[in-house]
Amino acid sequence: MKVLIISPKNKTLFNFRGDLIKEIISKGHEVVTIGPNQDYINDVLELGVRFIEVPFSKDNLSILGDINYYHELKKILKAEEPDLIFSYTIKPVVYGSLAAHRVGVKEVYPMVTGLGRVYASKSFKAKVLRLITGLLYKQAFKGSKKVIFQNNDDLRMLTSLRYLPKEKAVRVNGSGVNMKRFTPNDLPDKPVFLMIARIIKEKGVFEFAEAARMVKAEHPEARFILLGGYDNSIGAIKPSELEPYISDGSIEFPGETKDVVPYLKKTKVFVLPTYYREGLPRTILEAMAMARPIVTTDWPGCRDAVIDGYNGLLVQPQNSKGLAEKMKFMVENPITVKQMSENSLQLCKEKYDVDIVNRHMVEIMGLEN
């Protein structure tokens, strides 16, 4: 079978989908990938795939740009004649599915990896975009064999809105995590909190920084590390906005790294105070695989992986004070933290190991042989 994967970013092909691609190839299938540029091209090609560049802008609201993207995808699908198409994130899902339907590809499996800021914001603009997005999703899902979701909230919302029938929706446990790469080690004695995210408002960056400042006032020995790169999308935070928290020692900001493992090894508690409509944050799963307790928001995706009081603590979104209280609890209760860390690892082994998730994905798409 020829499997064509449509991706929004080349980095996600090897970072989030690499193990799935290897699994599909191991079953004897050919994999062709589509991405927007030549970024990380060597990493992508090392997976054993062919790569085709189709430019598009993730945050661009240009109708003309979207139409061009759709026509380019349609042209490539005609030339490649794939047996199956797998796509993820809104534009590849919508325009990839519509193009596939147009050229007659029957095996189409889009994956909803979260609903993004359009479904989290209450602004008038977001409401208008939700109407448009809803119409596009409905059309795209009509020609899909199954629609794959990463959390229960997204599945319930889109089926209740009648974007697709319930029998066509299926949930998997996120993208999974490679537990051979992310392995547990002993927790450090000192309280070290780590957040990994794009530096945008909806990821809860300011909430993390404010809460860190509050906790350090009572527990100056605590460290708070923010790991991630500055962004140019909607909601991006400027370096000047983050600088006050760095200069007064509230947070440490090493920037972006390709390998988060060394940072997780030195971490006692992983924190993600997001209010972005996540699928199932991979960073949470990586921390769980390394036996770290989690402090995150009671929010779609996050609450699927974290059981409040069992392997971490949940806090209401956009609540710096509440987040500070949860982190202080983690500083002051090391025995509970140790138990939560063990529970995180066990839960990850049972549900989120990438081999388990990928077997499910391969089964859904009928690629076992």
Look at the domain 192-352 and name its fold.
Answer: Rossmann fold (3.40.50)
HSE-up of residue 155 (Cα within 13 Å, Cβ side): 20
76-134 confidence digits (pLDDT tens): 999 999 999 999 999 999 999 999 999 999 999 999 999 987 887 778 887 888 899 99
> Rounded to an integer, what distance in angstroms lies between the CA atom of residue 83 and that of residue 106?
8
**What integer pLDDT is reported at residue 183 of this predicted model?**
98
Question: What's the mean pLDDT when you consider all of the chain?
Answer: 95
25-84 confidence digits (pLDDT tens): 999 999 999 999 999 999 999 999 999 999 987 665 678 889 999 999 999 999 999 999
212-238 residues labelled b (16+ CB within 10 A) or e (exposed): bbbbbeeeeebbbbbbbeebeeebebe
261: how many CB neighbours lie within 10 A of its CB?
13
**2-176+354-364 and 192-352, same CATH topology:** yes
CATH architecture of 2-176+354-364: 3-Layer(aba) Sandwich (3.40)
Q: 44-48 contacts: CB < 8 A, separation 24 or more? A: 44/10, 44/13, 44/14, 46/14, 47/13, 47/14, 47/18, 47/21, 47/22, 48/21, 48/22
**What integer pLDDT is reported at residue 60 of this predicted model?**
58
Cβ(35)–Cβ(7) below 8 Å: yes
Please list the ranges in the chain whose pLDDT falls under 70.
58-61
Cβ(37)–Cβ(53) below 8 Å: yes
Domain ranges for the chain: 2-176+354-364, 192-352
| Angle 223-229-230 from CA coordinates, rounded to 5° | 110
Phi/psi for 323 (5° steps) reads -65, -40
| Nearest alpha-carbon partner for 301 in 92, 18, 112 | 112
